[in-house]
């Protein structure tokens, strides 16, 4: 079975631009979470979606938004890019996301560079 897939692999943008990152979860998984990982740090939670509804949001500005589609794939949008948004953006899928011991499976990430 295919794992979590993300696109694009790499992306270069300039300050002020907008970016959309895409994620396809493992088949049968209904929950998608997004994480930002700055170089040298652990991933930081951004959003979780389950059954197309936002279940949780981390401490990120409103420039960050996301949505989940009927097929459970997801998009992360970042507006008005700042240099500090340069990071590896990770998508993780799980069966429900509402189970205390539900394993989250991560994709390979999208490397965003803001110049």
Partner 1 sequence: LAKTTQPISMDSYEGQEVNITCSHNNIATNDYITWYQQFPSQGPRFIIQGYKTKVTNEVASLFIPADRKSSTLSLPRVSLSDTAVYYCLVGDFSGGYNKLIFGAGTRLAVHP
Q: Which of 49, 51, 4, 55 is nearest to 25 (CA)?
A: 4
Assess 1 for contact with partner 1 (CB under 8 A). no
Per-residue buried b or exposed e for 23-34, using 16+ beta carbons within 10 Å of the residue's own CB? bbbbeebbbbbb
Which of 48, 76, 78, 112 touches partner 1 by CB under 8 A? Answer: 48
Assess 106 for contact with partner 1 (CB under 8 A). yes
User: What are the beta bridge partners of residue 10?
Assistant: 111
Which of 14, 98, 113, 115 touches partner 1 by CB under 8 A? Answer: 98
What are the residues binding partner 1 (CB under 8 A)?
4, 31, 33, 35, 41-45, 48, 50, 55-56, 58, 88, 90-92, 94, 97-109, 111
């Amino acid at each position: 079975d295919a794992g979590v897939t993300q696109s694009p692999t790499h992306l270069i943008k300039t300050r002020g631009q907008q970016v959309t990152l895409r994620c396809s979860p493992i088949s049968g998984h209904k929950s998608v979470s997004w994480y930002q990982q700055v170089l040298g740090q652990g991933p930081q939670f951004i959003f979780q979606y389950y059954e197309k509804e936002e279940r949780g949001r981390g401490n990120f500005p409103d420039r960050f938004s996301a949505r989940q589609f009927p097929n459970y794939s997801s998009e992360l949008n970042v507006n008005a890019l700042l240099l500090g948004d340069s990071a590896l953006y990770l998508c993780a899928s799980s069966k429900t996301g509402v189970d205390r011991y539900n394993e989250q499976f991560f994709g390979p990430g999208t490397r965003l560079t803001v110049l």
